[in-house]
Amino acid sequence: MSQSSEKTTVRGFNTAFDSNLAKLEMIRGERNLRSLFEPQGIAVVGASPKPSFAKCILNNIVSCGFNGSIAAVNPNYGTVDGVNCYKCISDVPFQVDLAVLCVPAGNILAVLQECKLRSVGAVQIISSGFAELDTEEGRARQQQIERLAKHSPTTVVVGPNTFGVINLHRPMIAIGDSRIPKIVPGGVSCVFQSGQMFTIMHPLIGRGIGIGKIAMTGNEVTVTTADVISFFAADPQTEVIVSYSEGLKDPDNFAAACTRARERDKPIIMLRVGAHLEVRKGISRHTATQAANSYETDMQFLKGLGVIAVDSAEDLIETVVAFKASRKPRGNRVAFASFSGGMGNMMADLILSTRSLNLVSFSDQLCKRLAAALPTFANSFNPLDLSAQSAFNTEVLSRCMQILGDSGEFDILLWGKDLPMSIDDESPIGMALKAFEAEHPQIVLIPVSQMSGVYWGKEVDGVPPMFAGRPLLQGTGVSVRALDKVIEWHAST
């Protein structure tokens, strides 16, 4: 093979040369993104006692337990909700690492210039009224921000038209929403162009999965999805990277960011919207992302980079759960066992329709051994219906699990259950599954509930449904799709 043929080009990106340059640019930019996620001093510009995004952001920073310095900036007040308020950024008596701007679009440039003079590390522009308006005035304002940001070596600008930033490890919650769940820090970090996507915190924390950092990038005038992914790739607190994207603005940097993440075994799960022409007009008016017209090319691009693409918020969430509920298996051979023949049939249909999962056929020897241990009204093939009676017979259940584990005929065991409830470690089922894991560590065991959502039974009490400290997969179709993507990703690493 010639040297030139070894080089690959994706969307004009020469990975043999440009990737290294893009990586260097990202590494140089990490210092300023640290100001965004790990500030020691925060100023909320435009905060007032009146109900607003600014007031909500200020209150969240205070109430979440942020232990750095906090200031409000507004010439009309001396304090705002107990926080000292100053006329301008220049008057704030401490170093401002992060300035959150909640002022009218027409005033943004003047505040940005002041931030530049004050060497503010990062500026998050919450305000709308820029290129997303699709007007000459809006585009001109955004261009002014871009020019100023390019000539400011110390200040990084995020936005405009964003919702804020979160770092639960700090903790720091600087978003304009009052519905904040209990803080559970963890290894899932997110970059979203849409502000409402931050609510992924709620179902993930409700499933026992902690959040690390969330950035909302909006119009991405300077800081792009690629920049944030690169930061997460190098972040020791991030294990899984999640993204909502309306278009890839800088494919060179994006490819380099994905390479950094892949080198560190960090999966990237992305919901890239815009599959239909009718949606692309909405994207233009939402984040002014002109790259919306490159959807088909982007999807091929993502596939080539090993990014896990999903089609809905539900699939995004369940794919995260699938990574947290399992580990890398030795292969893709799947067995399914439950007390329900109906659920087994559903799951078998779904598994057989995937690209990466192989629903194995049990050998005659294994079927005979299972049949000898099971009641006559159970079946002994895959998917395995142990029958409801086996749930009350500890000896039968334990014997079947031992036979399955000793067979060596599969790599993944999906344990089917009815409702999204925790499996009590001390229950007969819990003890049988724990013994299976202890005796057969080479097999990945993943509980899956037939139903998804919140179970309003006596068990709830705000405790996430878990088994052995891991979340359960919930729902049949969405769980199998998620697991298919996770196993495919593991197979390629």
What distance in Å separates the CA atoms of residue 199 and residue 333, rounded to the nearest whole number? 35
And the tokens for 251?
Answer: 């494919």
**Confidence at residue 20, expressed as pLDDT on a 0 to 100 scale:** 54
CB 163 within 8 A of CB 126: yes
| DSSP 8-state symbol, 452 | -
What distance in Å separates the CA atoms of residue 362 and residue 396, rounded to the nearest whole number? 19
The candidate with the shortest Cα–Cα distance to 176, out of 160, 150, 196, is 196
CB 115 within 8 A of CB 99: yes
What distance in Å separates the CA atoms of residue 216 and residue 174, rounded to the nearest whole number? 11
* 53-57 long-range contacts, CB within 8 A, separation 24+: 53/102, 53/126, 53/176, 54/100, 54/102, 54/126, 54/176, 55/80, 55/81, 56/175, 56/176, 56/177, 56/178, 57/100, 57/102, 57/126, 57/164, 57/174, 57/175, 57/176
Digit-by-digit pLDDT tens for the chain (493 residues) are 333 333 334 444 444 445 554 554 554 455 479 999 999 999 999 999 999 999 999 999 999 999 999 999 999 999 999 999 999 999 999 999 999 999 999 999 999 999 999 999 999 999 999 989 889 999 999 999 999 988 887 789 999 999 999 999 999 999 998 888 888 999 999 999 998 999 999 999 999 999 999 999 999 999 999 999 999 999 999 999 999 999 888 899 999 999 999 999 999 999 998 888 788 778 887 887 875 568 888 999 999 999 999 999 999 999 999 999 999 999 999 999 999 999 999 999 999 999 999 999 999 999 999 999 999 888 999 999 999 888 888 899 999 999 999 999 999 999 999 999 999 999 999 999 999 999 999 999 999 999 998 766 655 566 889 999 999 999 999 999 999 999 999 999 8
> pTM of the predicted model, to two decimals?
0.91
HSE toward the beta carbon, residue 426, CA cutoff 13 A: 0
Cα torsion angle, 417, 239, 327, 353, sign = positive
In our burial notation (b when 16+ CB lie closer than 10 A, e otherwise), range 275-292 reads eeeeebeebbebbbbebb
**Confidence at residue 154, expressed as pLDDT on a 0 to 100 scale:** 78
Cβ neighbours of residue 119 closer than 8 Å, sequence gap 6 or more: 154, 155
CB atoms within 10 A of CB 297: 14
